[in-house]
Amino acid sequence: MTKESDMDRPLLAVEDLHVAVEGKEILRGLDLSVSAGELHALMGPNGSGKSTLSFCLMGHPKYEITAGRIRYRQEDLATLSPDERSRRGIFLAFQYPTAIPGVTIANFLRAALRGVRGGDVPVKEFRQTVKPHLKALGIPDAFMNRYVNDGFSGGEKKRLEILQMAVLSPLLAVLDETDSGLDIDALKTVAAGINALRSPQRGILVITHYQRLLNYVKPDAVHVMMDGRIVRSGGSELALELESKGYEGFRPSGASVGVGS
């Protein structure tokens, strides 16, 4: 439960974050603050460090915080294991979700829900929890018996991510390119799924390359990330500006030109 006092403070506060992967500095002084009730969009060229930020938020051991910090509801994230992060309500949808042959979506989702709740979830209750979300996302019931991401189309994988998010009902959701590879109908369904999850308690960070998602999901803020830090923040007009100018127009003068260098 979110306490009243938490509502006034950012849910997520990333402060001067520096992160290295295998000795190479990828994030170089990133600042980002997301409050409960807000939806932020993070945009940036390939290799700018967007996925690195999301892995770091989830506590992937390969990503080493060399300076700065991440606070989540006033706690220092670095002190929490990935499991504890999930239990505290952080959800991350990966850019490249992995297949888990042999594990059905139903078993996977139920185990995830058990993990987040820290207790058993009876089958009947589980079915009741999932049913309305399947309907809203246009996912047939039979989908629940398929193996996780095994042979899924790109669009099916992305719908599954939204289904997971809806079922787990996180406080902070980070969606890494949930819109990529979607046809226009799937994009609308996924956008509707994201919009349905907007709530005064929840913060959502959407990582995307395309302005088109933002035609359906109205962000409270848009951030442009380049070379491991945020170079501009603004409203949805920033995404439109990006579309017309490209990223070069956002590069701080004197910065290097190589992507991800």
Ligand X SMILES: Nc1ncnc2c1ncn2[C@@H]1O[C@H](COP(=O)(O)OP(=O)(O)OP(=O)(O)O)[C@@H](O)[C@H]1O
Residues in contact with ligand X, total (CB under 6 A)?
A: 14
Stretch that binds Mg ion, among 34-42, 89-97, 147-155, 232-240 (CB under 5 A): 89-97
Q: Does 246 bind ligand X (CB under 6 A)?
A: no
Instruction: Please state, as a whole number, how many other Cβ atoms lie within 10 Å of the Cβ of residue 250.
Output: 19
- Residues in 38-57 that interact with Mg ion by CB under 5 A: 50-51
Site of tokens 């017309």: 244
Whose tokens are 């439109």? That residue is: 240
Minimum CB separation from ligand X for residue 62, in Å? 5
* Residue closer to ligand X (CB basis): 94 or 126: 94
Distance, in Å, from the CA atom of 81 to the CA atom of 145, rounded to the nearest integer, reads 30
Using CB under 6 A as the binding rule, whether residue 248 contacts ligand X is answered as no
Site string for ligand X, 35-74 (x = CB under 6 A): ---------x-xxxxxxx---------x------------
Q: Which helix (H) or strand (E) holds 41?
A: strand 39-43
Angle subtended at Cα 38 by Cα 37 and Cα 42, rounded to the nearest 5 degrees: 155
- Rounded distance between C-alpha atoms, residue 27 and residue 65, angstroms: 9
164 binds, among Mg ion, ligand X, none (CB under 5 to 8 A by kind): none
User: Which strands make up the sheet holding 39-43, listed edge to edge?
Assistant: 90-93, 172-176, 203-207, 39-43, 221-226, 229-234
The number of CA neighbours under 13 Å toward the Cβ of 116 is: 19
Which residues, listed in sequence order, are joined to residue 147 by a DSSP beta bridge?
A: 104
Among 2, 95, 180, 233, binds Mg ion (CB under 5 A): 95
Closest distance of CB 107 from Mg ion, Å? 28
CB 49, min distance to Mg ion, A: 8
Interface residues with Mg ion (CB under 5 A) are: 50-51, 95
User: What residue ranges bind ligand X (CB under 6 A)?
Assistant: 21-22, 26, 44, 46-52, 62, 95, 260
